[in-house]
């Protein structure tokens, strides 16, 4: 051990590396470092890498290296304490900027002058201080705004599959989302894990070309970045989001993609630590770990700001019972599910409405927020679409000639619903436009079939329509 003076601080260097495996190094005498501390590892060629202490006991410390362990020599590497915890710079100047997964600027601009530096682990919101999610965020996507409304303070995940356009939907939401009210300041925090270079450029260029770059804070972890950095990315994004929401009073929407990449990194670190695996090789504590991310969404009593989350994940083999979507579903308040059959029909966004759910929808809709009949409108269209899907299955068995006239009306409704309501393309649609389209689609059905909407409202809104009216 040597001691060197650095400004007014006495910095101690240790030469205690004993073992390297994967992205981890093991140190002797680990009790000198607190769990969560950030260490500097200085190699004999002068290169410095950072690591975080995962576990520390009197006998050893387990350290995950952010830039990877390749080239580290056990005997030629010195270790020193950098910070007692991983921190990220917080300031309103982060708005419109792009950062790496660990919070370093990647947009070619100067580093942020922080109002304060915060521990990326964050602090749990006291349940007594939590306010009920209220009001809604308009995403510009009809199947979300009309049927699975996103409420401020909610966490509403998107379940995708390999090859489905989840990134395009994420970009659409980032570009188009807004809150109503002239006195509301709205910011989107985008955290991406495991993106290819093409995907990263797609997002960053889209933000700028769409004119929304000035309101987006992006944290980008690429596929060729160290996997361990993916564990930092959502926490850095959420720490900045908490600062903007609860210190500065912004309405903040956090979009995280892809949580499957995050969980794969978690499994990789668990395997390197030789921990006993749980379901499908994922660590047994993955539920707890995911909850420390998802539960950072919410509203606080007496504060104007809110933090809303849309985590996006890829279901391996389209299996919704896989541990990642399964555990995510337990923690969050609903789900938006992308359907492969709709994607094959070139419908975008290919949201399969029937398995979708927003458990907090009723908190954000109704009189004074959207329309007092919003829920009845949604229920009627949902029920009609479900019946039309059943008719389509029946037709595949008995043929179209065996269908009744009412069944044929439901079949026409379902086809048009998928083509127009679901398949809106990449254009933004206001909530009013979504409502108007819904009433028009109801006109494909006999008036007597609209049993979930108040009769007076049906008489006021109903106009019989034909398929040709939707050309």
User: pLDDT of 449-465, one tens digit each?
Assistant: 999 999 999 999 999 99
Q: Tell me what pLDDT residue 363 has.
A: 95
* pLDDT score, position 263: 96
pLDDT tens-place string over residues 418-438: 999 999 999 999 999 999 999
The full length of the chain comes to: 471
CA dist., res. 250 & res. 404, Å (int)? 54
- Work out the burial of residue 374: count CB atoms within 10 Å of its CB; fewer than 13 is exposed, 13-18 middle, 19 or more buried: buried
For residue 43 the two structure tokens come to: 């190699």
pLDDT digits (tens, 9 = 90+) for 364-410: 999 999 999 999 999 999 999 999 999 999 999 998 888 999 999 99
Answer yes or no: are the C-beta atoms of 96 and 109 closer than 8 Å: no
The reported pLDDT for the residue numbered 395 is 93
Looking at the predicted structure, is the pLDDT value of residue 14 above 90? no
CA-closest candidate to residue 414, choices 389, 450, 449: 389
Q: For residue 83, with 0-12 CB atoms within 10 Å meaning exposed, 13-18 middle and 19 or more buried, which class applies?
A: middle
Q: Are 200 and 192 in contact (CB under 8 A)?
A: yes
Determine the angle formed by the axes of helices 374-398 and 431-442, rounding to 10 degrees.
50
> pLDDT tens digits for 63-98?
888 878 888 888 888 888 888 888 899 999 999 999
Distance in angstroms (rounded) separating the CA atoms of residues 62 and 51 = 10
19-53 tens-digit pLDDT: 888 888 888 877 788 888 888 888 888 888 888 88
What is the structure's pLDDT at 390? 96
Section 7-26 average pLDDT: 73
Mean pLDDT for all residues in the chain: 91
- State yes or no: pLDDT of 2 exceeds 70: no
Categorize the per-residue pLDDT at 7 as very low, low, confident or very high, splitting at 50, 70 and 90.
very low
Residue 349 has pLDDT above 90, yes or no: yes
Where do the domains of the chain lie, and which CATH numbers do they carry?
2-84 (2.40.30.20), 88-364 (3.40.50.12240), 374-470 (1.10.1140)
Mean pLDDT of the 111-126 span: 89
pLDDT tens-digit map of 149-205:
999 999 999 999 999 999 999 999 999 999 987 678 999 999 999 999 999 999 999
Q: What percent of the chain has pLDDT over 90?
A: 69
In the three-class reduction of DSSP (H, G, I as helix; E, B as strand; rest coil), residue 30 is classed as helix
Alpha-carbon span 52 to 43, nearest angstrom: 17
Residue 237 CA to residue 217 CA, distance in Å, equals 8
> What mean pLDDT comes out for the span 266-282?
88
């Amino acid at each position: 051990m040597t001691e060197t003076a650095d400004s007014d601080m006495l910095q101690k260097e240790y030469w205690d590396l004993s073992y390297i495996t994967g992205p981890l190094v093991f140190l002797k005498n680990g009790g000198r470092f607190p769990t969560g501390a950030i260490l500097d590892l200085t190699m004999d060629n002068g290169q410095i890498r950072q690591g975080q202490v995962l576990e520390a006991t009197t006998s050893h410390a387990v350290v995950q290296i952010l830039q990877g362990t390749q080239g580290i020599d056990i005997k030629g590497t010195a270790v020193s304490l950098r910070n007692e915890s991983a921190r990220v710079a917080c300031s309103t100047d982060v708005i419109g900027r792009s950062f790496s997964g660990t919070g370093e600027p990647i947009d070619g601009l100067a580093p942020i002058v922080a109002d304060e530096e915060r521990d990326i682990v964050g602090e749990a919101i006291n349940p007594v201080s939590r306010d009920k999610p209220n009001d809604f965020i308009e995403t510009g996507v009809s199947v979300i705004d009309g049927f699975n409304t996103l409420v401020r303070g909610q966490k509403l995940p998107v379940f995708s599959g390999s090859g489905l356009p989840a990134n395009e939907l994420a970009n659409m939401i980032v570009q188009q989302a807004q809150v109503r009210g002239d006195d509301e300041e709205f910011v989107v925090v985008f955290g991406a894990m495991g993106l290819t270079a093409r995907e990263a450029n797609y997002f960053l260029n889209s933000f700028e070309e769409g004119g929304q770059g000035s309101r987006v804070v992006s944290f980008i972890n690429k596929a060729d970045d160290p996997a361990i950095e993916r564990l930092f990315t959502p926490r850095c994004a959420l720490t900045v989001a908490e600062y903007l929401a609860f210190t500065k009073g912004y309405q903040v929407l956090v979009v995280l993609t892809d949580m499957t990449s995050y969980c794969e990194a978690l499994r990789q670190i668990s395997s390197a630590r030789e921990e006993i695996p749980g379901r499908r090789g994922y660590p047994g504590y993955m539920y707890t770990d995911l909850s420390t991310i998802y539960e950072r969404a919410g509203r606080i009593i007496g504060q104007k700001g809110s933090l809303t989350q849309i985590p996006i994940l890829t279901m391996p083999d389209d299996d919704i019972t896989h541990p990642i979507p399964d555990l995510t579903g337990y923690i969050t308040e609903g789900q938006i599910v992308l359907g492969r059959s709709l994607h094959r029909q070139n419908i975008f966004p290919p949201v399969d409405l029937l398995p979708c759910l927003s458990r907090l929808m009723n908190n954000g809709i109704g009189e004074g927020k959207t329309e007092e009949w919003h829920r009845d409108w949604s229920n009627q269209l949902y029920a009609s679409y479900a019946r039309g899907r059943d008719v389509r299955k029946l037709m595949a068995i008995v043929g179209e000639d065996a269908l009744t006239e009412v069944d044929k009306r439901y079949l026409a409704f379902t086809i048009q619903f998928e083509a127009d309501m679901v398949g809106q393309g990449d254009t933004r649609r206001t909530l009013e436009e979504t409502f108007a389209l819904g009433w028009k689609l109801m006109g494909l059905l006999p008036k007597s079939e609209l049993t979930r909407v108040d009769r007076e409202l049906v008489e006021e809104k109903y106009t019989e329509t034909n398929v040709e009216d939707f050309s």
